[in-house]
Structures are given as structure tokens and as C-alpha cells.
């Protein structure tokens, strides 16, 4: 049987490393996150932007869960604030991500 897995851009090692000093799950707040959630999905050109990365507890806060638009917006804002706090400089891909999703940042 053929593997019918939809294409999803994985986060780069560099993106994952940006969150190494964060200990909090964006959903439950516990010090146990172990997965990078594609906040707005992983099937578009800018999906692998660090702005789309949400640190979450995989089994308790991520798998099988559908996030509302409000939850996505809160996570996107939190990720952007975190990246600003650590001195991350936006790339052109990140700027395009913000333009495409400006409703969440207003």
C-alpha cells in the first residue's frame, strides 16, 4: 500500500534551536514541550518560518487537537514576541509570512 502522507515542510534545525531555551508549552504552560507545532499548518511556502513554530506537549496538547483561529492567533503572537525577546532578525520569508497572515498580528 502506498504511503499517502500529505506534504508538510519540516522545521529546520536552526528553527528548532531557536526554542531550546524556552521551557514552556504554548498550550498548557507546563515545562514539558517536546514538539514543534505548525501553527497555521505546514503546506505552504513560508510554513517552515520560525514564526509558525509553536512549542507544545505532543501527546497531551497537540495530537488529535484542532486549534481555533483565536488559539492560533495567540500562539502566533506569543511566538513573535518570544523571537523578538531573543533578538531574532526576521528574514524575507518571515516578512512574507507576516504579510500573508497580517490579520493575526493586528
Identify the pLDDT of residue 43: 84
The predicted structure's pLDDT at residue 8: 52
What is the C-alpha separation between 48 and 43, in angstroms, rounded?
9
* pLDDT in 10s for each residue of the chain, 106 residues: 344 344 456 899 999 999 999 999 999 999 989 999 999 988 888 889 999 999 999 888 988 788 999 999 999 999 999 999 999 999 999 999 999 999 999 8
Q: How far apart are CA 6 and CA 15, in angstroms?
A: 22
* pLDDT for the residue numbered 91: 97
Rg (CA), the chain: 14
Contact 3, 27 (CB under 8 A): no
pTM of the model: 0.87
Torsion of CA 76, 82, 83, 85, to 10 degrees: 150
Amino acid at each position: 500500500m502506498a504511503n499517502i502522507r500529505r506534504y508538510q515542510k519540516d522545521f529546520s534545525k536552526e528553527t528548532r534551536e531557536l526554542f531550546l531555551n524556552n521551557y514552556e508549552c504554548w498550550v498548557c504552560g507546563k515545562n514539558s514541550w517536546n514538539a514543534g507545532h505548525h501553527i497555521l499548518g505546514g503546506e505552504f511556502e513560508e510554513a517552515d518560518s520560525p514564526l509558525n513554530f509553536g512549542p507544545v506537549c505532543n501527546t497531551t496538547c497537540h495530537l488529535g487537537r484542532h486549534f481555533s483561529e483565536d488559539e492560533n492567533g495567540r500562539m502566533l503572537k506569543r511566538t513573535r514576541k518570544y523571537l523578538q525577546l531573543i533578538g531574532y532578525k526576521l528574514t524575507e520569508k518571515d516578512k512574507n509570512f507576516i504579510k500573508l497572515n497580517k490579520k493575526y498580528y493586528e
